[in-house]
Amino acid sequence: MSAIALLRSTLLLVMALLLGCQPPDAPPLDQQLYIWQRQWTGAHEQALAQSRADFSTLRVLALQRFPQAGWRRAQINPGLLKDDGRPLIVVVRLDGQLAGLDPGDVQAQIQQMIVDWQAQGLTLAGVEIDHDAATARLPAYRELLVGLRQALPAALKLSITALPAWLASPELPALLAAVDSSVLQVHAVSRPERGLFDPVQARQWAERWSRISNRPFYLALPAYGIALLPGDGGAPQVESEVPIERRGVRRELMADPQQLATLASQLRADPPAHLAGLIWFRLPLKGDRRAWSLATLQAVARGEKLQTQLTLNLSSHEGLYDIAVSNTGNLDGPLPARVGLAASGCDGFDGLNGYTVQRTAAGQLMFTRLKDARLPAGSQRSLGWARCTHIDQGASHVSP
């Protein structure tokens, strides 16, 4: 064999060895959804149908244990879940303020719930326990989970919602060994005044979790908002999807889709060890004013470029114009602060949905937003009406 041929053969062998030593490509991150409504409505049917292509699994709030009210089941629609066909994981919420947990009672309630769901034709893939246990109570919580794992059918996976505060506990490895997987919640885990979510901190928590857990784990990410109301001399009250009958100025906090899109992209490109996927909280329903629109959630999950696109829409009948603005982009955005119409021959006008209108010195009709509000992606909002001889839509303008 010539020297050149020998060199070529050696190089090919080295390249083959190097390629053989490279780790296989990591599987794409799974993406799932929480359904957290305690009372299902007709809006669930459309939301489930439209979300099916982007989210593999549904984690459904099914059962809760309250400190005073005891056990309560969510009023689900089993027919919709059966027709949907995606894997189902039932979530059992054990309030963190409970003085203690009776393992036998917990097991009995969960086992009966499983029987009842299966009797309705639902096939379950797993059970998730959501319990904000104090760090000092992790040993007792682990014992409950060990007993529950033994009581559940082997085919049902057992997972837990987990808190970053547990990272400092030496009990955490034993706790995680008692379950098949964990869901690290990285939103709404700090004092509300500090905000709903910090992407840098979330990534740091995920990296630390990956060094402790040798089993699959997921990140629970926010796709919603909350409002803070002044408390009675203490911590503020948190209002989410259920309104609180109380007066006071509400400070709105909404998870930023751009921040979450960046974090999701980073995690897809360089996932921490054992990270199996992302679980989005929560399935948005039509009219849910404290959740992202499904269009925005899907765009973030797909890694699409996010953009709000406001369009002015006019419709007229015998000189009566309806004025509306639509968001044709994939990113929820604020309603425009002002909309100016180049109008002539107007003898009446009024604003709607939080807008006021007046004629400017230049003869325009200026619609002005009185308070902040969001315009979900793919939706339209009426701003008002005007009775005019003519409105020149091309000369009108929308100010974000």
pLDDT digits (tens, 9 = 90+) for 305-317: 999 999 999 999 9
- Nearest-angstrom CA–CA distance, 345 and 388: 5
Question: At 279, is the secondary structure helix, strand, or coil?
Answer: strand
What's residue 249's pLDDT? 77
Helix (H) or strand (E) holding 359: strand 355-359
Question: At which of 239, 274, 302 does a domain end?
Answer: 302
Question: At 199, is the secondary structure helix, strand, or coil?
Answer: helix
Based on the domain organization, do 107 and 251 belong to the same domain?
yes
Question: At which of 302, 331, 361 does a domain end?
Answer: 302
Residue with structure tokens 């059962």? 63
Tokens standing for residue 12: 């090919």
Based on the domain organization, do 205 and 271 belong to the same domain?
yes
Tokens standing for residue 265: 């992209």
Based on the domain organization, do 236 and 133 belong to the same domain?
yes
CB 70 within 8 A of CB 64: no
Tokens standing for residue 283: 């399935």
Alpha carbon distances (Å) from 331 to 17, 79, 103, 310: 47, 32, 45, 10
Q: Which residues of the chain have pLDDT under 50?
A: 1, 3-4, 6-7, 10-26
Q: If we measure between CA atoms, which residue out of 203, 198, 162 comes closest to residue 180?
A: 162
What's residue 2's pLDDT? 53
User: Which residues constitute the domain of residue 253?
Assistant: 30-302
Radius of gyration over every alpha carbon of the chain, rounded to an integer in angstroms: 27
Based on the domain organization, do 269 and 323 belong to the same domain?
no
The enclosing domain of 224 has a CATH number of 3.20.20.80
**Structural domain total, the chain:** 2
Tokens standing for residue 84: 């949907």
The overall pTM is greater than 0.75: yes
- Tell me if 264 is assigned to some domain: yes
What's residue 233's pLDDT? 66
